[in-house]
Each structure stands twice: as structure tokens, then as C-alpha cells.
Structure 1
């Protein structure tokens, strides 16, 4: 597993989990120069994957788009009429051109979602027509259990740093709160996770972006990244191992990482749509969407995928899902990107110019909480920005611990340390889950506002050196490029 990613460092395509590398070159200022074209070849006979965006998010417009796909020589793999998006496969080299030609005014955009042939096999085209009702479990931990420590809690410096230990004296969260872990799957029989996994709400989205509800499809196969993330969010208080930020909430495994470690747009779209349809209160997203670290609005294929993912995020947010995402591990200032040399990562990366219209998704999408990573200084409770963490004034919303985080892993149903903004993001997802548990009527915008308002200020003047390279901290005590509006605070979230 080789390539460094946002928090999810995924590779051989990927999932080099928690492993950090800096591959992005940043410059002094963002540029309005046109981004470097990255033509995606779709040779005749190769099965290629596309998103087709209808002009309107209606059943009729989506049906019209499906008809256009078929006329253009494609197969409808998945449709999302709620947002007017169709996922299609085609072996026709001119599929995109023909969709535009045949679609007329009904088609907003069409674009290939990867630079290589489709590797997964899919069943017959399908559409999820009706969401299931949300399961409400009737049991909850007692007050006595709230304050009884699990054996390895003393090793969880991160929980003490965000005051989760004190928050647990008030609540461990509600069973009515459901967190979607969009990742590589959750180990179903890990003793610290099994009781909190909502198997009925778990799903696999890596079969070309379709809904796979098989009993084992959502479980991990080649990576324990999602299992580690899940432990930070909601490891059970059960007298075993560790305790998560919100140890009494339910978690759904939403598998969006394929066996080669890639998260293609259609996988993420499926994940976000599933979260909205299943009434998930919070989602955690410790990844960037492949094969581009930055998706550029002035490139046809990239713009179409960016549009489709944006629609899915917006729709699920309106349905009540609050989305949290890792800021990334490239040690770059997200406000000042001008070049990138890691994309496309599913074929041959090129050195390319990027501009202010090139976004790291999903973390830079509106309404998504963007989380930077902090590291412990020695054995103290003091922290500094993790050397690998992305930053950016006006981009980072809040910070959380992300270096040397102890959590659950698959091997031996055990525990291990990982580092990355992937490890920071689930702390914020857990705090958001505690907040939602205390205030079930709060909508995503309210949760975002309160997360920021309750975060502990991290003034630039107090920041420690972060080592060689990297943009210095800029901004005010209340909002700066390193910590955003501060270190997330679990205790304030439940008061």
C-alpha cells in the first residue's frame, strides 16, 4: 500500500492507513490560471464508468437521462432520482459525446469517473426505491457504567485532550443516534465494536456504486482503516480495551473503499445517498475521492464528478446528515494550491497546474466539517499541529488529535496506533454524535455552528514549530489556518 492520502492513506493502489507522506507542492498564492487538462481515454471495447447529471433533480429528468444513456450505448448501473444522477457503464469510445448530442437541454454534464477500466463486476441494473425505517434500540448504559473505565483508557491521550472522559460523566450518547462510517468496512466481531454496529443500516457501495446489502459485503477485506476509525467514534464501554468518544451510539458500516484501496465518485455518491436515506445523524469521511486529489471545475470529466458528489452531499445534508471529513495529509495550505503531482492515482500521475476551482472532496464541499490533525508534545497534554496535516485559513473548521491514536484494528481483534487526519476526523464525528444525542432536534447547520463555538481557541502565537516546511499559522486566536475555530471540546458539547 503506497500512496499518502488525506487521512485515509490509500494505496497500491492504496489505503496505506495512517501512513503519512507529503506529495503536494504548494505555492504562495492560489492561481486563476486554467488547470492542466487530464484527458481520460475511453477506448472502444473497454468498460468505462461515468456519471451523467440531469439538469433537474426530478424523476422525469432522471428517467430521460437513463433513456439517453441507453441510446448512447451505455448501461444504467445505478440511478439517484433524488439528485438527478445516473451512474453508467459503456464500452463505446464516444459515449460522452453521444450523451451530450442525444440529451439536448436535459443533460447538465457527463464525465468519466476513473482513468482505468472498470474492474468490479455488477449484477443487473438496480435502483434503491425506498429507504428502510431507522431502527431504535431500547437499551442504554447505566450512569454507573458511564464512569467505569475500560482497561486501556489510560493510553488514550486523545480522549483526555478533548475532554471526552469528562463528557462521559454526563452521557455516553444515545442509542437513537446513528453514525455512518464511510470507509473500508468495520470488523463485525471486534469485541469493542460488535454491540454498536447497526448491521441493518450497513451497506457496501463498492460494486460500481450500487447498493449491496449482503451480510458480509460491508465488512473489511484488505484494510483495517475503517475499523480503527470506528473505534475512535464509538468503541463500546464494556470493560474491554478502549472507549470511543461516543461509546453508546450506533454505527453503520458504509463501505466506499474497494479492495484496491480506491474511493471512486460513484462509491462516495452511494455512501452519501445511503446516509440520507437511512436517517444517519453524522457521517465520518476520512478519505479523498479518487483518482484526483483535487477535482477541477474547468475540466469536463472532473467537473461532472464534482457536481454529482456535491449533489449527494447537499441532498443528504438536507435530510439531516452532518458530514465530517479529514483535511488531508499533504502538509499543504488548501487556500494556496497551484500544483499537484499525485493525480490521477489509478494510472500515471502527472505534474499539473491547479487553481482555486480545484477542490479536495469531500472535505472542501459546503457544509462539510473540515478537520486538521494535532499531535501530542512528549507526554504532556499540550499539542501542536501534526507535521503532515493540511491547513488553510477559512478552510479548516476545527482541530482534533490525529497522531499516535490508539484504536481498534482487525488483526487479532486487537488495538493499534495510527496517525493521520483520518484519525482526527472521527473525534469530531464522535463529538457531533454526543451533541446530537443531547439535542436530537438540532439540524446539521446548528451542529456545525455549535462545534465551532464550543471549540477551545488555539492562538497562532501559542503554536509550536511544526518542523521543516509547511505554511506558518495565520489568522486570529478564534479562527486560524491551523486549528480553524479551535480544538473540538466533547464536554461542552454535552453540557
Structure 2
């Protein structure tokens, strides 16, 4: 890290007040809200018995084979069943298909070697409409670290996981490739651009490119990417693994919605592009009873929406995603996902399955946070389980900094030259997008979406310390052996195997 000093400069940047949420409804494309449901669906949707953040996707299907690989000649057989293959995830035994034939499922299910045919789903994975932006003015340079990256001293999460100690030991993610599956990205951001591999980056979202394009300040994808690998370049923030390369993969619309199949395609793409780590700060709690809204192939006419119950669909979607994540793991990719923000106790509530964190071979991350960190950064406990974080023995593998918003006071504090409410400093600070390529943007946010990239950064440091390649099972073992065991001894429902410790992860024998 450089130790130069900057002259005071006036900079305006936002503060994001919202959990990076998982639930919610959008009225775009195939999504419906309680306000525009058909009458038959209103009561079920409003009483919580139906997942209104999920709809079956009209005319789109996911086909799985009985074996891990797709049967030979499947495309021709799908065509004979009046379908068109839109993507072949051959090594995972999964294909996505478009068909206008209302009997396609029946016809395709008869193909030899086919295990199942289910409707694809659209999900509101994130809830950007909850974001509230507040501007402030910065006249200072962070005094505590002496680093010339202007906002490094706001990144308490790095202190919690001892990231700078890992850097001082010589480990900064060199030679590691991290894929970020998320919404759009600010590819021109001064902190990200040096580390982005644009040739490997791609959007799978119909009608939207890789770049974040919503007005206002934000970009969930940019925020998570910056936590992982913002360059140590003397400008703004620093990623946990500042010398790792980023593969940016857009699998959600900038509005936070997206097809289930896009995520699977993104995982396969990242694997084929040589990713060592995949981060998915996305998620949705899917009802195991399979009660969803059906768009009935006419999303422009919400009056015909109705409720369907398809338990098999949930089972098969989970199985398909698990095949794809296991494919990635078999090919050397450590897969990490956020545990979810519903404050759900997975030990007692078995009605939901959280995806993608609940898929096979995925490392699931719960969120931790301080309370009033700005009042005493040196001694404040930073490892409370965040108030919104999901938890449960089988639901959490590790914990990492995600921030929280529950500090009760309205005091004002100054950290690194930034004067702000104390509770704001308990959020996670990272890169954002304001659609102006000449001005780097930053904001605070909260969620397990913010915890997962801290974990992905630690995984990148581990792989880099191993020379740039490492089997996922060994990465997991190293994370497990070096995490700080904060809860009950061993794996516990709050922290899993513990809150990750970057320094111990790269230096322990």
C-alpha cells in the first residue's frame, strides 16, 4: 500500500440505506405484484402462502438427463418435441429449452435419457427499490492507516478478517481469477478497471449488456466486485484480494430480477473461463411446496395469473443447480454464495430452500457486524450475527462481514475524514456506479450479499498463496482450519465453522 498524501478534495458520494434484499416484486416482464394479480391469486399471495417473488417463466424449460452428461442427439429429439435448445450445459447434464407447445413437457419427458422437464422460473433475487441514497461531502484524507486510498479506513470488514495482515505477509491474490455473478457492473470504475478481464466477462441477461445502466447511484454487482478485488491504486477502496483478476458475469437484470437458467449458464461460463472462485451475492428463499404464480404465457395480461403448486419443480430446480455447481467444483472452482437475509432459522423452519446457497458444493456465508464501530474502532466487537442474516447448522458454512443497521443512536462520528451517523459506519463500504465514467462512485450497503465477497476474497488469497491453483476441497479445508470459531465449538448455526480470518488462512501451516 502506498503512503502518499492527497490534497483535500471535495467529493460527493452516496450512502445506501437498505438490506441488499432477496424478496420483492417488480412489474417488469413476467413479474407481478399483489396489485396486479388476477383475483383468484390475490388472497393466497397476500397471506404469504405463495412466493410472489417467483413466477414460472412462460415457454422456457429446464431439461435434465438421467446421467451427468446429456444424451447424444438431444437437440434433434428436443426439436422433434417442438422445442428449441437455447443452451447446452452438457457436462452438467442440463439443457435450457424454448417451446411454444403447451404439451412440451409431456413430449420431452418421453425422450430416452431424460430425467425431468420443468418450467424455468423468474425470481426477484434482489430488491433495488429499497435503496435510499443520501449524499454527503468529503474534505478529508483517511488518517488512521496512512494509506492513500481515500476510503480504505471505512472498510472495517477488512480489519475484522485481518486482510491487511495477509497483504503484509505477501499475499494479495496474485494469479487468481474470481468470477462475480450479479447484476450489471461499472466496468469503467477506476478501482475495478485494472483488474477486470473483459475478454472473459459476459452478460446472460436478455436485452441488457454487462454494464450497469440504471439511473442514480448504486450497482449491486459493482459493490460486491469491489469488496473482492478493488485495486490498491491510491484512489478509493481496496479489495480483500487486490491483485486478483475479475471475471464479471451478469446473470440478473439491473433491477435485481432474473431467470434461474441465467445463473446456471453463468456458472458454467465462469468455469470455462478459468475462474478459481465464483461469488454469488444473490439469493431467493423458494417454498418447498412449489406454490408459485404462473404468468400463463401472457405477462402483459396480469388478470389471468393464477397459482400453481409444483413440488417436483422445486426439487428438480435444486437438483439442476446442484449439478452445475458440482460441475464447477469438479473443475477446480470454489463456489461461494450469500446465505440470505430473511433472518430465517433453518434448524426449525424447513419450509424454504435458499438458492443458490443451498445447492450442492456451495459455501454459504452468514453476515456479521459491529454495533457502533465508529465510536471506538479499536475495541468494538465486530462479530455479532447480523440481525437479518439467515442461520442454521446446514445453512451456514462460514461467517464474514456483512454489516447491520440496528445501532439505536443518532450520534455523529468522523472516520477517515468522513462525518456521518454512527450507524452508517456499521454498513459495508465499497464501489458503486453513477453512470459517469469520469467519476468513481462509492456507497455503503448491508446484507449477506456483502458478506459473501469478503469470503470470496479470502478464498482468492488462499488460492494465490498456493501458487494460483488449488482444489476446492483444500480451499474449504484451509478456510475451516483457520476460521475464528466464535460460536459453539465446531460448526454452529450462527457462524458455521467460524468467521473467516485471512491472515491465518495464508500463514497457518
Short-chain TM bin: 0.7 to 0.9
2:100 match: 91
Whether the 8 Å contact between 1:5 and 1:287 is mirrored in structure 2 is no
Indicate yes or no: 2:263 matched with 1:268.
yes
- What is the distance in 2 between the residues matched to 1:157 and 1:489? 14
User: What stretches of structure 1 of length at least 5 have no aligned partner?
Assistant: 16-35, 117-145, 209-215, 339-353, 460-475
CA-CA distance at 1:58 after TM superposition:
3.4
Indicate yes or no: 2:253 matched with 1:258.
yes
1:419 match: 446
Matching residue within 224, 247, 250 for 2:242: 247
- What is the distance in 2 between the residues matched to 1:254 and 1:41? 23
CA-CA distance at 1:450 after TM superposition:
1.1
Indicate yes or no: 2:485 matched with 1:457.
yes
In structure 2, relative to structure 1, the CA distance for the partners of 1:325 and 1:5 (3 Å cut) is farther
Indicate yes or no: 2:504 matched with 1:492.
yes
1:453 aligns to what SS in structure 2? helix
1:200 aligns to what SS in structure 2? coil
- What is the distance in 2 between the residues matched to 1:442 and 1:89? 38
- What is the distance in 2 between the residues matched to 1:457 and 1:57? 37
The within-5 A match list for 1:26-425 is 47-58=58-69, 61-64=71-74, 66-101=75-110, 103=111, 105-114=112-121, 148-207=147-206, 217-222=209-214, 224-288=219-283, 292=286, 299-338=311-350, 354=351, 359-379=353-373, 380=377, 381-383=380-382, 384-403=384-403, 404-411=427-434, 412-425=439-452
In structure 2, relative to structure 1, the CA distance for the partners of 1:150 and 1:318 (3 Å cut) is same
Whether the 8 Å contact between 1:367 and 1:445 is mirrored in structure 2 is no
In structure 2, relative to structure 1, the CA distance for the partners of 1:260 and 1:93 (3 Å cut) is farther
CA-CA distance at 1:172 after TM superposition:
4.8
Alignment deviations for residues 34-86 of structure 1 (CA, whole Å, 9 cap, x no partner): xx899x998xxx95110011222335x0523x233212221211112212211
Whether the 8 Å contact between 1:14 and 1:260 is mirrored in structure 2 is no
In structure 2, relative to structure 1, the CA distance for the partners of 1:284 and 1:115 (3 Å cut) is closer
Whether the 8 Å contact between 1:182 and 1:284 is mirrored in structure 2 is yes
Alignment deviations for residues 385-427 of structure 1 (CA, whole Å, 9 cap, x no partner): 1100000023311111101000001024211100000000100
TM-score (norm 1): 0.73
In structure 2, relative to structure 1, the CA distance for the partners of 1:391 and 1:435 (3 Å cut) is same
1:201 aligns to what SS in structure 2? coil
CA-CA distance at 1:108 after TM superposition:
0.2
1:82 aligns to what SS in structure 2? helix
Greater strand content: 2
- What is the distance in 2 between the residues matched to 1:397 and 1:443? 18
CA-CA distance at 1:282 after TM superposition:
0.3
In structure 2, relative to structure 1, the CA distance for the partners of 1:226 and 1:41 (3 Å cut) is closer
In structure 2, relative to structure 1, the CA distance for the partners of 1:270 and 1:184 (3 Å cut) is same
In structure 2, relative to structure 1, the CA distance for the partners of 1:306 and 1:68 (3 Å cut) is farther
User: What stretches of structure 2 of length at least 5 have no aligned partner?
Assistant: 1-16, 29-48, 124-144, 291-308, 404-426
Q: Answer with 1 or 2: which has the greater Rg.
A: 2
Whether the 8 Å contact between 2:18 and 2:446 is mirrored in structure 1 is no
In structure 2, relative to structure 1, the CA distance for the partners of 1:235 and 1:41 (3 Å cut) is closer
TM-score (norm 2): 0.72
CA-CA distance at 1:186 after TM superposition:
2.2
- What is the distance in 2 between the residues matched to 1:430 and 1:231? 10
Query: How many residues matched?
Result: 394
Whether the 8 Å contact between 1:53 and 1:86 is mirrored in structure 2 is yes
CA-CA distance at 1:271 after TM superposition:
1.0
Indicate yes or no: 2:461 matched with 1:434.
yes
